[in-house]
Copies of this chain bind each other. A is one copy, B any other.
């Protein structure tokens, strides 16, 4: 039962001290001391005092960048909705650690700001991806990309926060639902080369009917024979 590596010990010590004394009241020296290492070693493993709480935002950002780069979806919004799932899954994998971080960021404004800045980087990535995908430098297209990216991130944050607060048992499903709402906000342009601008399918449901029973015909309507 040898000691875990310094990086882990530092993180454990940091979270423990933050819980005991609060973030500002804890110095880097305190953390290093409790971890049984020198102060230099702390900064070797974590760029800053804040970074010990957000260890791998950069890695996650790259992961998402790759996912977007290799994604083959029919619309940019679907691709982004798919990519943002990675973020949620990452948090869920962290489990209790993510919740402890949430408790900290809720109290310490400096950490909250840092978290917000990280999220903004995701949003920027999404915005640029959508704008590139649309390839339309128009003002309105740019605005549309901005709105889409903001909505995806907002929906993700909504679900994530619910899960962090313990209000959600199945966050992945909730994310799907939330993303469905977002997709519904932005109907695809439905560009038709022949100019008939069909593309619109109107479906009438009777409430109380089983959606799953309708699904096959729905799918036929949308995918099989567009324009009817």
Within 8 A of B (CB), among A109-156: 112-114, 116-117, 120, 139-140, 142-144, 146-147, 149-151, 153-155
Chain A contact residues: helix, strand, loop or mixed: helix
Asked whether A190 is an interface residue with its Cβ less than 8 Å from the other chain, the reply is: yes
Q: A205 and B213 in contact (CB under 8 A), knowing A147-B154, A218-B180?
A: no
CA distance A146 to B149 in the complex (A): 13
Query: Among the listed stretches A10-18, A39-47, A71-79, which one makes contact with chain B, having 4 or more residues with CB under 8 Å of it?
Result: A71-79
**Of all chain B residues, which has the CB nearest A179?**
B213
A169 contacts partner chain B, Cβ-Cβ < 8 Å? no
Cα(A213)–Cα(B112), bound, Å: 31
Could you write out 7 A-B pairs with CB less than 8 Å apart? Answer: A147-B181, A147-B182, A150-B150, A177-B216, A177-B219, A184-B214, A205-B221
